[in-house]
Amino acid sequence: MATKVEQRSYEEALNWLRDHGFDLIEAPGTQGRVFLKKYCCSAAIQKNGDDNVKIFAYPGYLIGSEISKLINRGYQQFLKTAKTEVPATADHLKALQQFTEELKEGLGLPSLYNESLGTVSESYQYDRIEDRDKPKAERRKRPWEVAGVVATTAATKKGRA
Protein backbone atom coordinates (compact mmCIF):
# COMPACT_ATOMS: atom_id res chain seq x y z
CA MET A 1 0.00 0.00 0.00
CA ALA A 2 1.50 3.32 -1.06
CA THR A 3 1.96 6.03 1.52
CA LYS A 4 1.95 9.65 0.40
CA VAL A 5 4.96 11.59 1.68
CA GLU A 6 4.64 15.33 2.15
CA GLN A 7 7.76 17.24 1.28
CA ARG A 8 8.88 19.71 3.94
CA SER A 9 9.63 23.35 3.29
CA TYR A 10 13.24 24.51 3.43
CA GLU A 11 12.94 25.96 6.94
CA GLU A 12 11.01 22.96 8.27
CA ALA A 13 13.65 20.62 6.85
CA LEU A 14 16.51 22.61 8.43
CA ASN A 15 14.77 22.57 11.82
CA TRP A 16 14.11 18.81 11.60
CA LEU A 17 17.70 18.09 10.61
CA ARG A 18 19.10 20.25 13.47
CA ASP A 19 16.79 18.53 15.97
CA HIS A 20 17.98 15.10 14.82
CA GLY A 21 21.72 15.67 15.22
CA PHE A 22 22.82 16.86 11.78
CA ASP A 23 25.58 19.47 11.67
CA LEU A 24 24.53 22.26 9.30
CA ILE A 25 27.20 24.38 7.62
CA GLU A 26 26.20 27.32 5.43
CA ALA A 27 27.88 27.16 2.03
CA PRO A 28 30.22 30.15 1.66
CA GLY A 29 29.20 32.76 -0.88
CA THR A 30 25.74 31.32 -1.57
CA GLN A 31 22.27 31.94 -0.22
CA GLY A 32 20.00 28.99 0.59
CA ARG A 33 22.59 26.21 0.31
CA VAL A 34 23.62 24.09 3.31
CA PHE A 35 26.10 21.23 3.81
CA LEU A 36 24.96 18.50 6.21
CA LYS A 37 27.18 16.21 8.27
CA LYS A 38 26.42 13.16 10.40
CA TYR A 39 27.98 9.68 10.82
CA CYS A 40 31.08 10.94 8.93
CA CYS A 41 28.86 11.37 5.86
CA SER A 42 27.86 14.55 4.10
CA ALA A 43 25.47 15.97 1.51
CA ALA A 44 24.32 19.40 0.42
CA ILE A 45 20.79 20.72 0.07
CA GLN A 46 19.53 23.96 -1.36
CA LYS A 47 16.38 26.01 -1.43
CA ASN A 48 14.50 25.29 -4.62
CA GLY A 49 12.18 27.98 -5.92
CA ASP A 50 9.11 28.45 -3.77
CA ASP A 51 10.54 27.21 -0.44
CA ASN A 52 11.02 23.58 -1.50
CA VAL A 53 14.19 21.60 -0.80
CA LYS A 54 16.42 19.94 -3.38
CA ILE A 55 19.48 17.72 -2.84
CA PHE A 56 22.41 19.58 -4.40
CA ALA A 57 25.26 17.14 -3.63
CA TYR A 58 24.34 13.45 -3.40
CA PRO A 59 25.18 11.85 -0.01
CA GLY A 60 28.67 10.41 0.31
CA TYR A 61 31.16 9.31 2.95
CA LEU A 62 33.67 11.99 3.96
CA ILE A 63 37.27 11.24 3.07
CA GLY A 64 39.34 14.10 4.42
CA SER A 65 37.09 17.08 3.79
CA GLU A 66 35.74 15.82 0.47
CA ILE A 67 32.44 14.02 -0.17
CA SER A 68 33.18 10.73 -1.88
CA LYS A 69 31.11 9.09 -4.58
CA LEU A 70 30.13 5.44 -4.12
CA ILE A 71 31.11 3.37 -7.16
CA ASN A 72 30.02 -0.23 -7.68
CA ARG A 73 32.34 -2.34 -9.80
CA GLY A 74 30.35 -5.56 -9.42
CA TYR A 75 32.93 -7.33 -7.28
CA GLN A 76 33.55 -4.45 -4.82
CA GLN A 77 32.21 -1.02 -3.93
CA PHE A 78 34.63 1.91 -3.72
CA LEU A 79 34.57 5.42 -2.30
CA LYS A 80 36.06 7.75 -4.91
CA THR A 81 37.14 11.37 -4.53
CA ALA A 82 39.10 13.61 -6.89
CA LYS A 83 42.37 12.51 -5.26
CA THR A 84 41.86 8.96 -4.02
CA GLU A 85 39.82 5.79 -4.24
CA VAL A 86 39.40 3.41 -1.28
CA PRO A 87 37.47 0.14 -0.92
CA ALA A 88 34.20 0.68 0.94
CA THR A 89 33.93 -1.29 4.19
CA ALA A 90 30.73 -2.53 5.82
CA ASP A 91 30.99 0.32 8.35
CA HIS A 92 31.23 2.90 5.55
CA LEU A 93 28.17 1.46 3.82
CA LYS A 94 26.09 1.24 7.02
CA ALA A 95 26.87 4.85 7.92
CA LEU A 96 26.07 6.03 4.40
CA GLN A 97 22.80 4.10 4.26
CA GLN A 98 21.70 5.40 7.69
CA PHE A 99 22.62 8.98 6.72
CA THR A 100 20.70 8.77 3.45
CA GLU A 101 17.57 7.34 5.08
CA GLU A 102 17.55 10.03 7.78
CA LEU A 103 18.17 12.74 5.19
CA LYS A 104 15.21 11.57 3.10
CA GLU A 105 13.01 11.50 6.18
CA GLY A 106 14.12 15.01 7.12
CA LEU A 107 13.41 16.39 3.66
CA GLY A 108 10.13 14.54 3.33
CA LEU A 109 11.31 12.57 0.30
CA PRO A 110 10.03 9.06 -0.43
CA SER A 111 12.19 6.15 0.69
CA LEU A 112 12.19 3.60 -2.11
CA TYR A 113 12.20 -0.11 -1.34
CA ASN A 114 15.40 -1.02 -3.21
CA GLU A 115 17.27 1.91 -1.62
CA SER A 116 16.08 0.97 1.86
CA LEU A 117 17.65 -2.48 1.55
CA GLY A 118 21.16 -1.03 1.48
CA THR A 119 23.45 1.49 -0.11
CA VAL A 120 22.87 2.33 -3.74
CA SER A 121 25.50 3.62 -6.14
CA GLU A 122 24.93 6.23 -8.79
CA SER A 123 26.57 3.96 -11.40
CA TYR A 124 27.30 0.26 -11.74
CA GLN A 125 30.09 -1.58 -13.55
CA TYR A 126 29.11 -5.26 -13.28
CA ASP A 127 31.12 -6.76 -16.08
CA ARG A 128 34.24 -4.61 -15.61
CA ILE A 129 34.05 -3.38 -19.20
CA GLU A 130 34.28 0.39 -19.21
CA ASP A 131 32.60 2.66 -21.75
CA ARG A 132 30.27 -0.08 -23.02
CA ASP A 133 27.35 2.35 -22.84
CA LYS A 134 29.09 4.93 -25.06
CA PRO A 135 28.75 4.96 -28.87
CA LYS A 136 31.36 2.80 -30.64
CA ALA A 137 33.19 5.84 -32.04
CA GLU A 138 33.79 7.22 -28.50
CA ARG A 139 35.11 3.96 -27.01
CA ARG A 140 38.82 3.33 -26.66
CA LYS A 141 40.29 0.40 -28.58
CA ARG A 142 40.38 -2.86 -26.67
CA PRO A 143 43.61 -4.90 -26.60
CA TRP A 144 42.10 -7.67 -28.76
CA GLU A 145 40.92 -5.08 -31.31
CA VAL A 146 44.41 -3.58 -31.52
CA ALA A 147 45.97 -7.06 -31.63
CA GLY A 148 43.55 -8.03 -34.43
CA VAL A 149 44.68 -5.07 -36.52
CA VAL A 150 48.34 -5.96 -35.93
CA ALA A 151 47.76 -9.64 -36.75
CA THR A 152 45.86 -8.78 -39.95
CA THR A 153 48.56 -6.36 -41.04
CA ALA A 154 51.30 -8.93 -40.40
CA ALA A 155 49.40 -11.62 -42.32
CA THR A 156 48.86 -9.26 -45.25
CA LYS A 157 52.56 -8.36 -45.37
CA LYS A 158 53.54 -12.04 -45.14
CA GLY A 159 51.26 -12.93 -48.05
CA ARG A 160 52.80 -10.25 -50.27
CA ALA A 161 56.39 -11.45 -49.78
Contact 99, 35 (CB under 8 A): no
Residue 113: per-residue pLDDT: 61
In angstroms, the CA 78 to CA 85 distance is 7
Question: pLDDT tens digits for the chain (161 residues)?
Answer: 456 667 777 788 888 888 888 888 887 777 778 888 888 888 888 887 777 788 888 888 888 888 888 888 777 888 888 888 899 888 988 888 888 888 888 887 777 765 665 555 555 555 556 677 778 888 878 777 776 655 555 555 665 55
Neighbours of 13 (CB within 10 A): 23
Neighbours of 58 (CB within 10 A): 12
Neighbours of 79 (CB within 10 A): 23
Domain ranges in the chain are: 10-153
Contact 24, 35 (CB under 8 A): yes
